[in-house]
Structure 1
């Protein structure tokens, strides 16, 4: 649980990146690749400030996630990324006036419940190396 702040940082930077990318694509309008050089269109998208900073935020999120993966089990850390959907859905409702109907709210509740269950499973045995160290200790105790 001591790495939970890093996991949540990963989740929030991931969600922030999604929101920035959406804002960037809104500001660009509909992108049509017909009759134009696709490379120039892609460059037009990437140099949009919202898209550019969204991509940079994704890099920060990924670096944070790599750090987390070096410290905790993947099966513990990865499900927390589903909380990014929760954050994106809520912020998209307020920022972009996207629909947040009963089905989505029910899904968000299930995601939150599942994440709480996974968090409860991770008291201390989810640090990388903890299981290996305790197994080798038990093996050496048995052989003596």
Structure 2
């Protein structure tokens, strides 16, 4: 795999992970939480559709998909797709550092095994 294709994979995965982080930030905002607690479906939809963080997260997700389409046109799926799992590590780390979430020892070991698996796939060329 060429360095350029690897870079495009990493950009796609980074944008996808970043989109999840941005979406989480948007969905836990006080205004969003108040809207969700209201139970009023039109208000909830309007709040979601007008949230800059949600819109930004969806934009990043769409951009990630465009990079991913380019990758899929040039890299075997069996080589490219395992890199998507890198997003698990990124989002778990973001949950810990940005949102104060906790991760059990077994979950941390699982994420480590996923990353080890990605390294194995990446080393095959």
Post-superposition CA distance 1:104-139 (Å, at most 9, x none): 210111101110111122x2xxxxxxxxxxxxxxxx
Tell whether 2:113 aligns with 1:110.
yes
Partner of 1:15: 17
> Which structure shows the higher helix fraction?
2
TM-superposed deviation, 1:32:
4.2
What is the CA–CA distance in structure 1 between the aligned matches of 2:82 and 2:46, rounded to whole Å?
33
Matches within 5 A, 1:99-138: 99-121=102-124, 123=125
Post-superposition CA distance 1:67-101 (Å, at most 9, x none): 10011011111111011010000011000001122
What is the CA–CA distance in structure 2 between the aligned matches of 1:73 and 1:107, rounded to whole Å?
25
SS in 2 for 1:29: helix
SS in 2 for 1:98: coil
TM-superposed deviation, 1:47:
1.4
Tell whether 2:33 aligns with 1:29.
yes
Runs (4 or more) in structure 1 with deviation over 4 Å come to none
SS in 2 for 1:117: helix
Q: State which structure, 1 or 2, has the greater radius of gyration over its C-alpha atoms.
A: 1
What is the CA–CA distance in structure 1 between the aligned matches of 2:80 and 2:122, rounded to whole Å?
9
What is the CA–CA distance in structure 2 between the aligned matches of 1:97 and 1:113, rounded to whole Å?
25
Instruction: From 49, 53, 65, give the equivalent of 2:52.
Output: 49
SS in 2 for 1:71: coil
What is the CA–CA distance in structure 2 between the aligned matches of 1:51 and 1:59, rounded to whole Å?
12
What is the CA–CA distance in structure 2 between the aligned matches of 1:97 and 1:14, rounded to whole Å?
21
